[in-house]
Amino acid sequence: MRQFTRWLFLAVALLGAVGGQADDLSAAVGDRVTVLTLQGPINPVAVSYVDRGLSLAESQGAVAAVLRLDTPGGLDSSMRAITQRILNAQVPVFVYVAPAGARAASAGAFITLAGHVAAMAPNTAIGAAHPISGQGEDIAGTLGEKVTNDAAAYIRSIATERGRNAAWAEEAVRKSVSITEQEALSLGVVDFVASDVPSLLAQADGRQVQVQGQNVTLRTRDATTVPAGMNAFERFVAAISEPNLAYILLSIAMLAIYLELMNPGAILPGIVGVIALLLALFGLGNLPFNYTGLLLIGFAFVLFIGELFLTSHGLLAVGGVISLALGSTLLMAGNPVYFRVSPWIIGTVVGSFAAFFIWVVAVIIRDRLRRPMTSQENLVGRIGVVRSDLNPEGTVLVASELWSARTDQPPIPAGREVRVLRVEGFWLWVMTIEQALRAPEEPAALPAGGREALPAPQDDATTSDTASSSR
């Protein structure tokens, strides 16, 4: 009996130890803090990232989520989407303006005030939240008043909800005031000044916040931080949504498609051009851009293509370069600096296009001066490229000139090389090089009437009789 009691006590002790270890393990798994890092302009990519990061924290049962923020501002629609996501989060959200030297300007001020806990690192700033237009200018008149009043009411409601200085928040919108981290702490704009995330979690430990209408006591001192950076797709979208890269992709698309049209059937330039164009348009969709600038760039492309098919002696190319320069300048004109294309990149792209078309036009003019292509003897035997399918009529490019052409062979698709057999008026009769090698020699030229004007062939007897009678 005594032995049975001893074994029972040992079993209970063991179960208690295991249960205690299980509780400790559960606490270790649950006591985690998800750390997001958001740097750069507030745009749709930032919205997607913050939403995914907070959803991850909620699904994993994190005790809190920390959003490290460093932004010059961004789009109003994206800012409102992020603040709404934070206000409706199912876990406490710490918005932490960091690292040293970071800022929460414009849209960043709204996001910081929306956090359940707001904190700043040393040597940081917050404020300057006055709304501006998509072109970076003040919004004048009644519309400007409406937008400003709406933004002021919105930031005041957020600050009041979080128990922060609503009067200063309104001034940040109406007067664009900006303050340091120590001023923000003394004015009740933020809750803490912390040198790093562990310091922030230690200071916030034991604080009560409201999450989904419920009081929650923070237990973050010994929590494990789990970074949740942007995934590969988000980083890719963020990269192509950068104004300089979006503009470069648009330029690459124009050049690649132009090269494909110059050399039909090359395939690779066409594939690269279409992919670059779609990526550029996707990137521009995440940015505030001027439609007039985009249309001017598109018109420049049309003029460049026209230079391929029309004899303008370079005038179309000159017009294209001018249109490209104007469109590039207007594309992001007036935007805040973080939504603009670098003037150096614009100058490089426009200068490169100008140099390229100067070379193209010079080659065409030199070729035309060296070998006139209007005489029949200079056309026969030349190699050309089919521009539009010959079935049986179409067009071919011979020595930089576009001609109407015919063939009496099976249809010849665009992109195939052909040899000029003869000229009939303004028509070239052509045949593929393979067919020409197999075919008997054709006369260099025919009378104006074509084949019908040639004398009918005669047999040997007729020829002999004719010869005899003439003697």
Q: Known catalytic residues?
A: 106, 146
| Structural contact between residues 123 and 148, judged by C-beta atoms closer than 8 angstroms | no
Instruction: Record the tokens describing residue 444, joined without a space.
Output: 């260099």
Residue with tokens 């990149």: 345
| Structural contact between residues 151 and 131, judged by C-beta atoms closer than 8 angstroms | yes
| Structural contact between residues 317 and 307, judged by C-beta atoms closer than 8 angstroms | yes
| Structural contact between residues 337 and 384, judged by C-beta atoms closer than 8 angstroms | no
Instruction: Record the tokens describing residue 140, joined without a space.
Output: 């004048």
Q: Please enumerate in sequence order all residues whose Cβ is within 8 A of that of 193, keeping only pairs 6 or more positions apart, or say none.
A: 119, 120, 121, 122, 181, 182, 185
Q: Please enumerate in sequence order all residues whose Cβ is within 8 A of that of 415, keeping only pairs 6 or more positions apart, or say none.
A: 264, 265, 385, 386
| Structural contact between residues 317 and 303, judged by C-beta atoms closer than 8 angstroms | yes
Mark 439-458 as b/e (b = at least 16 C-beta within 10 Å).
Answer: eeeeeeebeeeeeeeeeeee
| Structural contact between residues 334 and 300, judged by C-beta atoms closer than 8 angstroms | no
d(CA 259, CA 21) in angstroms, rounded, equals: 69
Reading phi first (left if > 0) and then psi (alpha if -120 to 50, else beta), residue 404 is in beta
d(CA 193, CA 348) in angstroms, rounded, equals: 44
